[in-house]
Amino acid sequence: MTKGNNQREFFLDSIRAYLMLLGIPFHLSLIYSSHAWAVNSATPSFSLTVLNDFIHAFRMQVFFVISGYFSYMLYERYERHKWLKVRLERVAIPLLSSIPLITVPQFFMLKYFTDKLNGWNDFSIYQKINVTIWELVSHLWFLLTLSLLTTACFYLFKKIKALKSNVAPGPINKMTGLGNISLFFLLYALCYSAAHRIILIFAPHLLSNGLFNFVVMETMFYLPFFILGAYAFKYVWLKEIFLKPSPLAMLGSLLLLIAYMLNQRLLAHSSYMFELEVVIKTLLGILMTNVVFSFGHRLLNDHSPQITYLVNASLFIYLVHHPLTLIYGAFMTPHINNNLLGFLIGLVFVFSCAFALYELHKRVPLLRFLFSGKPQ
């Protein structure tokens, strides 16, 4: 590693931007996959199902490692109360702004132009509130998770910062290789799965509760990835484990992806599918962090105006792509018989509209603030 920990590492910015932009092919391929969604093509595509599974299996785990890395980097630079203010502004303001501007209109589009909310008038008050929470948070869930992790790390990062930089605490000091890291994360995944099973047995209604899932289940799943990113900033040797290319990590990622897809199909109607998925996605997240970091460090570690543009645009593009994808799926997909052609046209449509909207919103200071949280 040639750059010090106090310098911005462009490859991580690039990876984070690309992971955000992968949300577009992810949701578009979801239309054409064998997975049920708000809008689906008449017949599923095997290749686009594979693409969808591949993106979904690792993307957000790697994203939260990078988010933890950058969050702790800023924590080292700012006074902790200022850090909390700045970080919450960056994630909470776009979250709160996007609900009335994006997901509320999206909710009504789903209600009146898709079959997703069929039977709405027959729902109980609780069901209507619960469904509304699911749909209003929607693809914004990661901003909610980041807000909660940021709040929790206001306290956790204080403990990390107090540690000596040359002495790592347990169990971090035992994470000397991908194997050891994977083992610790496997143990966490098993504990998480056990907790899920206990809830399923004694309070199954909680698992269909949107607020509980977003606030508790999602946050607890991504917490160790976020903390791992923070420790990777503090201890260079830990980061270098992920920067060193590993053929075994690539092979393991391939095998885990196959296991993920088999689990989706063979255990689709089993109550154990979720627990097994947690284990697979946790391990895949660690191995793919190595794969993505090592390739990104080699290929993307340069500063360029184009990458800066993508980094700046990626959050807004992600926020608006979801309703654009649903519009495409509801109104255009039924008229295109070829799945691959429909997917490619969808990519052009969503990316074009999203970037056009990004350029328009840049010209309105209030919108720039609402969708970035940055003072104008």
Residue 102 falls within a domain, yes or no?
A: yes
Number of domains in the chain: 1
Would you say residue 211 lies in a domain? yes
Distance CA 305, CA 310 (A): 9
Asked if residue 105 has a cis previous peptide bond (ω within 30° of 0), the answer is no
Q: Which of 101-105, 263-267, 280-284 has the lowest mean pLDDT?
A: 263-267
Q: How far from the centroid of its chain's Cα atoms is residue 123's Cα?
A: 30
What are the pLDDT digits (tens) for 143-179?
Answer: 999 999 999 999 999 999 998 877 888 889 999 999 9
Could you give the CA distance from residue 46 to residue 264 in angstroms, rounded to a whole number?
13
Rounded CA gap, 96 and 371, in Å? 9
Compute the radius of gyration of the chain from its Cα atoms.
21
Range of the domain at 97: 10-372
- Provide the pLDDT for residue 7: 57
With pLDDT > 70 as the criterion, what percentage of the chain qualifies? 98
* Distance, CA of 33 to CA of 48 (rounded, Å): 6
| 4 is a domain residue | no
Q: What pLDDT digit, counting tens, does each position of 359-374 carry?
A: 999 999 999 999 998 8
Report the pLDDT value the prediction gives residue 3, as an integer from 0 to 100. Answer: 40
Task: State the helix-helix crossing angle for 23-32 and 10-21, rounded to 10 degrees.
Answer: 30
Q: Please check whether residue 311 lies inside any domain of the structure.
A: yes
Q: Is 334 domain-assigned?
A: yes
pLDDT tens digits for range 158-167: 999 998 877 8
DSSP assignment of 177-243 equals SHHHHHHHHHHHHHHHHHHHHHHHHH-GGGGG-HHHIIIIIIHHHHHHHHHHHHHHHH-HHHHHHHH
When the pLDDT of each residue in the chain is averaged and rounded to a whole number, the result is 95
Say if 3 falls within a structural domain.
no
The answer to whether residue 2 sits within a structural domain is no
d(CA 44, CA 47): 9
Work out the average pLDDT over 232-255.
Answer: 97
> Do the beta carbons of residue 307 and residue 253 sit within 8 Å?
no
Is residue 114 within 8 A of residue 55, CB to CB? The reply is no
The whole-angstrom separation of Cα 320 and Cα 329 is 15
Kindly state whether residue 138 falls inside one of the protein's structural domains. yes
Helix 219-234 to helix 46-77 angle, to the nearest 10 degrees? 50
pLDDT score recorded for residue 376: 67
Residue 269 in this model has a pLDDT that exceeds 90:
no
Q: Are 226 and 236 in contact (CB under 8 A)?
A: no
pTM of full prediction above 0.85: yes
